[in-house]
A and B are shown apart, each in its own frame.
Chain A
Amino acid sequence: MTDTASTSGLASIPALLARNVRDHGTRPAYREKEFGIWQSWTWAEAAQEIDALAMGLLALGINPGDHVAIIGRNRPAHYWSMVAAQKCGAVPVPLYQDAVAEEMEYVLGHCGARFVICGDQEQVDKVIEVQERMEGVGGEGAHGIEHVIYVDKRGMRKYDHGHLNWIDDVMAEGRAGHARLQGEMDKRTSALGYDDTCVMLYTSGTTGKPKGVVLSNRNVIETARNSSDFDHLSAGEDILAYLPMAWVGDFIFSVGQAYWTGFCVNCPESPDTMMTDLREIGPTYFFAPPRVFENLLTTVMIRMEDSGRLKKRLFDHFMAHARRVGPAILDGKPVSGMDRFRYALGKLFIYGPLKNTLGFSRVRVGYTAGEAIGPEIFDFYRSLGINLKQLYGQTEATVFITQQPDGEVRADTVGVPSPGVELKIAENGEVFYRSPGTFVEYYNNPDSTASTKDPEGWVATGDAGFIEEGTGHLRIIDRAKDVGKMADGRMFAPKYVENKLKFYPNILEAVVFGAGRDRCVAFINIDLTAVGNWAERNNISYASYLELANHPQVLDMIQSHVEEVNVSVAADEMLSGCQIHRFLVLHKELDADDGEMTRTRKVKRGVISDKFADLVDALYAGKTEQYTETEVTYEDGRKGKIRATLQIRDAKVQGETNMGIAAE
């Protein structure tokens, strides 16, 4: 059963490509907006481009098993590069394009990439910097990089082209050498087996160095098939590829599922035009981390605040109605005729136009994952009639561990095990899984592989959770290693509290401390868009982020949010100890460039508590303000310092009796 794909000859991505050319040859495979117009390539055209590139790579001397690093934003040429590498028997390794040179150096060195395909001059510069740094360390040629290929020609004229090629030139050479190279390419492509490596993806690395996750063709194709079946995806879907190519999700959606079902991948014109492009494409299958949905909702709400009174009342009226009956209608539950009629009216006046503005008119299946999503945010989209669901996954599982089936969608669970996935919960509450998508190994790191995956194939997720009685849905509490104990032995689950805080539009990020302490304290990051707009409406003037962040009225507002969260945390017996006693609003946004977050925007707790140790101490020492200096890294890599005196506030805590008991 599990080998149906391989026995029918579809054992690799290039094999799926050949099938798509046969079955869907004239259907669009890729679209990209360039020069203001959507350009499109059919499967047959895309296959020709990929062949030309693959033969060009052969002409440059690519060997089977070579690693080909790909660094750039979502563009058809970059996706083609991945498949072209596979056609040559090489392994594509997409990297995060916003990584700075130091981060890139580790990954390029670790995988020993011989070929690097760069999106533009910026990436080429970084690769050259990496080459120079590595040479500096280990002498001539210490890095394995032999050829750098760039896609966007702009600004590249003056570079030394000894080992640097424009992708079009590589492809032209491939086409010219067609007669000579075709045989070798076909031989290598047909030799690709079901258990050969399909792709290598580096984890973002919340702790320590990134690890190269090796995924086989089996992992990718089986997962793509199972998940496509789960949501009945067809060749008619349209997706917008806008998430980092180095992230496993993008690889599964834009390559795995796209090649398995033959649907079309649309690439935005530039990162800044994503919203416009989303509206123009109107994807039918959409994926976004909670942050994107939060930002969209914030934008909508801000614009509604600025709209006329009639529009605002109409919006509020119908949104209230949608919140009441919308999710039920979406789930096909019984709803009275009158309510249905009012919902239809609302759809005509509000929901329809709003969905259109957001670009969600055609969304059949939408997913969010990566972080917990606020129930209000989740319900907002579902009440509009957008089938937004949650899934739970990780790179090591080729994304899918659990997902929510249609009709069983809730904000507080992450769904039932995906097809083919087995789950078990360890004694300490950690979630383990075993699936056809379970990764092969961490590249060149047998120790980590062994400590993550046991001989029977069970993989530790690192998350603590439990399976709900009755429904079989998985609920995640927190990172297993973050779940700790406070000084008095009560359970400490920081993310649980942080997520509750982050559900407020004014709060962008929160970091809660308390492990091994007698009480919890928090750092807060304000959301500049939301708070800035609020300040504008309330005539509060400010000159900088810092000034706004420590404005007394902003602090009052944040304090009320914190106190509301305390009320809701107190309601949970197990976690009532996690209420926040004191907090401060940070003077800078937590940023991946400063190493405070991962590139996928997960907070690095250890780094933050070291870096801001003075602030943590001040919080626990009961001070009312604290002077601090912080080094920041600008986008171009230069460093600077921010100096600030931060106000520290006390927040009201529920259930003082509990505290008394704990103290005894």
Chain B
Amino acid sequence: MNDMSPPTSPDSYQTPDGRTIGPVVMEMKNITLKFGGVVAIKDISFDIREGEIRAIIGPNGAGKSSMLNVISGFYVPQEGEVWFRGARRPQMKPYQVAEQGIARTFQNIALFDGMSVLDNIMTGRLTMMKSGLLSQALWWGRAEREENEHRAQVEKIIDFLEIQNIRKTPVGRLPYGLKKRVELARALAAEPKLLLLDEPMAGMNVEEKEDMSRFILDVNDEFGTTIALIEHDMGVVMDLSDRVVVMDYGKKIGDGTPDEIRNNQAVIDAYLGVAHD
């Protein structure tokens, strides 16, 4: 088990702003992912620690979303291993991943447009509902009790994300920024230990980005949720995250704190281009 944590850092440490970052919860070891002849991810290794905000950045087509899909178990890499909480993770079905405490949002919103915000968020708790089909259909006994409990939890999330005013609004009628927030709410409803956010701020204006950043920090702070996110907005990434992985053409070109990444020549080259002289 000792090989789980990098030898350079202790099991847990304090961030400058007073949060405790725990030991490694998830580790990617030499992941390679191919689609036919296309190599999307090439021999990448990195880890995610308990309670941290971990960003994955990179130019378009760098393989970020593929990486997130590997973490979520949606893609199975051809080579390499995914270790989660000290055990090598086997190939799993999406619901098994959810039961492990991993939830995610999508780059292009995947909500049920015709359902209300409330119902959409309730679906995030599906894996936790235990009552049988008959009981659910009659909404009697266990089903009723259970729904009330889940609703209470969902209401806390609605309050947390300040979307009380759209509780009963069909998602299809909401503007883009709010849909993103509802998607986050649904992911939170599953009470994840590890939250994966695929471009949570894509296409948002400055104010919406600031709101979303605050929510992400608050989620991490209040619930102690570990967060892995992909984001294009460098300013946001540098402000939010504890550690950043940089990918380019399927390869890892940098890994470290925002300050280290900012001064990493390979990263600067990948983002700003290299001068030909």
**Chain A: residues with CB nearer than 8 A to chain B?**
33-37, 154-155, 157-158, 269-270, 272-273, 276, 634-636
Contact = CB atoms under 8 A, between A and B. Distances in A.
Interface residues of B, number: 21
A272 B164 contact: yes
B156 interface: yes
B221 interface: yes
B210 A155 contact: no
A276 B221 contact: no
A276 B165 CA distance: 8
Most central of B17, B151, B158, B159 by chain A CB within 10 Å: B159
A158 B217 CA distance: 11
23 contacts: A35-B155, A35-B156, A35-B159, A36-B155, A36-B158, A154-B160, A155-B217, A157-B221, A158-B17, A158-B18, A158-B221, A269-B164, A269-B165, A270-B162, A270-B164, A270-B165, A272-B164, A272-B165, A273-B164, A273-B165, A276-B165, A635-B207, A636-B210
A154 B157 CA distance: 12
Interface string B153-192: 0011011101011010000000000000000000000000
Contacts, number: 41
A36 B221 contact: no
Contacts of A37: 155
A36 B164 contact: yes
Contacts of A154: 160, 218, 222
Nearest to A269: B164
B152 interface: yes
A176 B214 CA distance: 35
Decide if the interface of chain B is mainly helix, strand, loop or mixed.
helix
A15 to B, nearest CB: 36
Interface in B226-274: none
Nearest to B168: A276
Contacts of A272: 164-165
A143 to B, nearest CB: 25
A158 B17 CA distance: 7
Contacts of B152: 35
Nearest to B17: A158
A273 B162 CA distance: 11
Contacts of A35: 152, 155-156, 158-159
Given A155-B217, A155-B221, A269-B164, 20 more contacts: A35-B155, A35-B156, A36-B151, A36-B164, A37-B155, A154-B160, A154-B218, A155-B218, A155-B222, A157-B222, A158-B17, A158-B19, A269-B165, A270-B162, A272-B164, A272-B165, A276-B165, A635-B207, A636-B207, A636-B210
A37 B164 CA distance: 11
Contacts of A273: 164-165
Contacts of A634: 207
Contacts of A34: 159
Nearest to B152: A35
A636 B205 CA distance: 14
Contacts of B158: 35-36
A276 B160 CA distance: 19
Interface string B136-164: 00000000000000011001101110101
A302 to B, nearest CB: 16
B210 A36 contact: no
Contacts of A157: 221-222
Nearest to A155: B218
Contacts of B217: 155
A33 B162 CA distance: 13
A35 B18 CA distance: 30
Contacts of A36: 151, 155, 158, 164, 167
A536 to B, nearest CB: 15
A281 to B, nearest CB: 15
Contacts of B210: 636
A37 B155 CA distance: 9
A350 to B, nearest CB: 24
A34 B152 CA distance: 11
